[in-house]
């Protein structure tokens, strides 16, 4: 009896080991194929080494010296390493870990990112890897632009979760406990505001024309069809912006529905934006005209509290058209 039990244990261990190494081999092949396909498309895509560890229950992959650049868009990313952790018995749960330093390449130049504990998780279902929920978190993220100015975030938390009972609607949340804009904005504010925002929050439910899957993010992406904006809020010293509303998005990206806007000390917002040099002057001029009109409707003070309606490609304030409706560029 003991010999039979021992034999069964050894056989099970050998079988599981063979399963783990087979899975690791399959993963390695799929990763190598992905990089090769990008290179065939004309991208710069490579790494100096790839290791898969985590026996017996996980497949933990580490790439060293990763670089991915799309020459057509000018977008790219490079990092000293990147890690992706998968359960060896469940490919539908993944954890990604980024290094403390990495760079994002754009047509405008290189953005250097430093972070502390930047990680994300992704849970999918079925062989199509349909999104169930995803979370991203970091204790600190600092982004330095090509000009050397830095935007800092603390206690970053973001999540996307499919709404129960649906296949194409998702709850989206974003929160940052500390957000400090780059030096041009701080200099433009001339010490009239604290170094960081007091509130930075987003809560919304978005419906798409089909479910989101891992594969769809790199191909023909799902199109948003409805937006229930529970709350979008920024608070910086005396300045504040709060948005709520329910809207639909048609096949060409035009938004239809209602949006409530509350802006506190809006003239100071425009002054900071204009003096920073980071926002196009034409945009600031356009906003000044629109916000000035909305301010008159709200009583002419420093605060704006109005409801807008988007209908037939127009923005309406009550029955009065005040401009074109916003449009989401669908690509």
Check residue 28 and give its pLDDT. Answer: 94
Task: Pull the structure tokens for residue 204.
Answer: 């919304």
Q: Determine the Cα–Cα distance for residues 268 and 278; give it in Å rounded to an integer.
A: 15
**Separation in Å, CA 7 to CA 13, 14, 55:** 10, 10, 21
Q: Would you call 326 helix, strand, or coil by DSSP?
A: coil
Residues 6+ apart with CB under 8 A from 202: 172, 173, 174, 175, 231, 232, 233
**Buried residues in 43-52 as b, exposed as e (16+ CB within 10 A):** bebebeeeeb
Question: Which H or E run contains 255?
Answer: strand 255-264
Check residue 183 and give its pLDDT. Answer: 76
| pLDDT tens sequence across 221-252 | 799 999 999 999 999 888 899 999 999 999 89
Q: Determine the Cα–Cα distance for residues 193 and 269; give it in Å rounded to an integer.
A: 11
Residues 6+ apart with CB under 8 A from 41: none
**Residues of the chain with confidence (pLDDT) below 70:** 1-16, 216-219, 300, 330-331
What backbone phi and psi angles, to 5 degrees, belong to 11?
A: -65, -40
Question: Which H or E run contains 125?
Answer: strand 119-125
| pLDDT tens sequence across 99-130 | 999 999 999 999 999 999 999 999 999 777 89
Check residue 11 and give its pLDDT. Answer: 60
Closest CA to 193 of 235, 151, 237: 237
Question: Which H or E run contains 204?
Answer: strand 199-208
Q: Determine the Cα–Cα distance for residues 314 and 311; give it in Å rounded to an integer.
A: 5
Contacts for 40-47: CB closer than 8 Å, 24+ residues apart: 42/71, 42/72, 43/68, 43/69, 43/70, 43/71, 44/68, 44/69, 44/71, 44/76, 45/69
**Separation in Å, CA 264 to CA 58, 73, 135, 259:** 51, 38, 31, 16
Closest CA to 20 of 64, 52, 50, 62: 52
Q: Would you call 145 helix, strand, or coil by DSSP?
A: coil
Cα-only R_g, the chain: 25
């Amino acid at each position: 009896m003991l010999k039979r039990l021992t034999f069964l244990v050894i056989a099970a261990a050998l079988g599981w080991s063979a399963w783990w190494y087979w899975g690791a081999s399959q993963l390695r092949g799929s990763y190598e194929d992905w990089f090769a396909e990008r290179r065939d498309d004309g991208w710069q895509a490579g790494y100096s080494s790839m290791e898969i560890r985590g026996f017996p229950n996980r497949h933990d992959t580490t790439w060293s010296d990763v670089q991915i650049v799309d020459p057509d868009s000018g977008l790219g990313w490079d990092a000293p390493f990147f890690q992706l952790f998968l359960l060896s018995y469940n490919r539908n749960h993944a954890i990604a870990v980024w290094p403390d330093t990495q760079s994002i390449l754009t047509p405008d130049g290189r953005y250097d990112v430093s972070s502390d504990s930047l990680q994300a998780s992704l849970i999918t279902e079925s062989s199509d890897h349909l999104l169930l929920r995803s979370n991203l978190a970091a204790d600190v993220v600092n982004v330095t632009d090509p000009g050397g100015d830095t935007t800092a975030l603390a206690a970053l938390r973001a999540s996307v979760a499919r709404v129960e009972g649906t296949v194409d609607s998702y709850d989206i949340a974003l929160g940052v406990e500390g957000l400090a804009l780059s030096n041009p904005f701080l200099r433009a504010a001339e010490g009239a505001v604290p170094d960081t925002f007091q509130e930075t929050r987003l809560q919304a439910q978005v419906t798409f024309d089909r479910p989101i899957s891992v594969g769809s993010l790199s191909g023909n992406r799902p199109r948003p069809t409805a937006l229930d904006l529970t709350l979008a809020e920024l608070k910086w010293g005396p300045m504040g912006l709060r948005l709520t509303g329910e809207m639909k998005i048609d096949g060409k990206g035009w938004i239809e529905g209602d949006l409530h806007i509350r802006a506190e000390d809006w003239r100071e917002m425009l002054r900071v934006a204009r003096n920073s040099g980071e926002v196009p002057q034409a945009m600031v001029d356009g906003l000044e005209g629109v916000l000035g009109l909305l301010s008159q409707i709200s009583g002419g003070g420093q605060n704006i509290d109005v409801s807008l309606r988007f209908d037939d490609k127009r923005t309406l304030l009550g029955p009065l058209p005040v401009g074109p409706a916003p449009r989401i560029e669908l690509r």
